[in-house]
Structure 1
Amino acid sequence: MNYADAGVSLSRADEAMVGVKKSVRSTFNPCVLGDVGNFGGLFTLKHLGFKDPVLVSSVDGVGTKLKVDIEMGSHTLPGQDIVNHCCNDILVQGARPLFFLDYVAMGSLEPQVMDSIVVGMAKACRENDMVLIGGETAEMPGFYAKGDYDISGTIVGVVERDNIIDGSRIHPGTKILGLPSTGLHTNGYSLARKALFEVAGYTPQSRVECLDKTIGEALTVPHRSYYKSLIDLTNAKKIDGLVHVTGSGFQGNIPRILPADVDVVIDRTSWEVPAIFKLIQQAGTVEKDEMYSTFNMGIGMLVFVDDKNLADVEAHLKAKNEPYYMVGEVVKGSKKVLFKD
């Protein structure tokens, strides 16, 4: 026997790496030392001019959104999802991204699929001024069903120590702006799939009157990044807190940055909830508070701003063509999320 008899093909891996290497190199900048294929990626901070740099890291996956991507054949989109998601996770602490590492596992390595996944990652890395510095591809026969795969990613960024955003300056009277999402982003898909496909009987190819695209197309819109819209404001210390509205929604994420003596009041009438969320709620007969504790409901990032900086922040967002809503305010309390309807 040989490795191929066990279901692992080194020749397929070599074929897949041809396109992968091209995509990875398209993200490189002068901080990268070495080339694709080294045991470890080398990155120097020398050219970045930081005085007291603090590295910020995060790791995440795409979750069961992949099931919809796979059925739709949208293999470039999960790579964008994972990079943008991770970028937002370190942005909320004021960090700019430096480099990204990916992990892709599938039952039988399909070079075209692998190439598409990394094309998507490389696209998002370039858009976020970040290097795709390395990764791991695992062929795992018998572990994943035919056509299935999983991806995860690790991001490393940097922030000046005195620019770290930790929410400590949030106080009663702080205003909260909401920046729109592009849909579900990468959270809540187990509930969305159950409600739409199992309960309501839709398929990813189904069309419904309230959507301008198929249900599958609405569910696979990539998770967006807020880096370009917000990084200058974080560097200028105009923002007192940021919340990436991901898994656990509003109730689970907002308290992570709140001081112990404040609550947040979110006005749920201040923005129009996108149709895809309404469809999920109706299809699964999901309670309203459950929707807000699972999904972003159309708001992907919350920006906490002191009154003295509000005009500057709003002017900056308008200059960046970044839509926003005044969605809430901070009040005295004990780290709770309250809703106004």
Structure 2
Amino acid sequence: MPTSTSFHFPKQLTSLSGGWRTYFLAALRMTDQPTVKLYRGFGTATQITVQGHVLRRSPLPQQHYQQRFWTNMIDMIRLFLVRPMAHVEVRLQGTTICAKTDIDGFFRFDWSPDTPLPSGWHPIQVELVSGSADKQSTPVGVSDVYVPHQTQYGFISDIDDTFLVSHSGTKLKRLRVLLFQNAHARKPFEGVVVHYQALSLTGTTPNEPNPFFYVSSSEWNLYDYLSAFLHKHNLPAGVLMLSQLKQFSQLRQTGQDKHLTKLDRIARILSACPDHQFILLGDDTQADPHIYATVVKHHAAQIRCVYLRQLGSVKKPDVIATVAAIEAAGIPCCYFKHSAEAMQYSARIKLI
């Protein structure tokens, strides 16, 4: 865990000015220049959701991963030293589509392309059009938008303790893992990568994989961190839908709230992909069983199956009851301890 001195660090940073401030930010590999942080978007050929943040202070991209205690801790802390820019305007380059950021610097808008987009990934750029003091250089965010292929299935997966070992049920353990292990040092559960890779290709081909959406209570601060983990372990490329940005003072509460907003994010995905049958993947440590049961209740026609990973030594009675309710609605549900069990279940119901 960080020391008490570490938790006073943002006050020290705030009190710095001039050259010392610039030097200190450079040492931390941070910038106080306005930055447009653009995330992967998604939608249909004719309607795309674009979202991101505008930040007045943000970390520079991580280039190296070193297994050093203090280096990893500082790299994580700087993700929570961000400062958002509220009520500034951004524009999708090449269009007149604009949006304003909220109090957290977050923006989201819908884009209807002049020409329908084919399935796959497409580059986009969003620029800051108000709020930048530097008129010579316009901050621009670069990312992609995803139009799912016309496959039968789609997948919505939680992250922490669903495929990434995170100890979410214990706040101090989760914080310790976050602070002291970088994205390349973190581990997936045994067998989960093989299972996800198989699911991504069920009923289709590598050129047209099933869409994956990663919906988590982890904050947008961790977007690059989680993206690096997905890439490192060759998990299916997909769209991350994370939770509200947090400040440094809230680091100890990372991943511990905003669970119910997952319902809204899942509903947007289902609405954007009405022709796909979705498989929901989660675990039994937080709110996933209840959330997925609610999704099944309201969207049963679009749900093919539910998977819930068991984290403790025994199955939880309340989760067993939730599984029974899901199955009573006619939706298969697998409550499993090891990924090998989940793969066997997938084969049994002909998902792989």
Q: Do both share a fold (TM > 0.5)? A: no
The higher-RCO structure (CA 8 Å, 6+ apart) is 1
TM-score, length-scaled by structure 1: 0.28
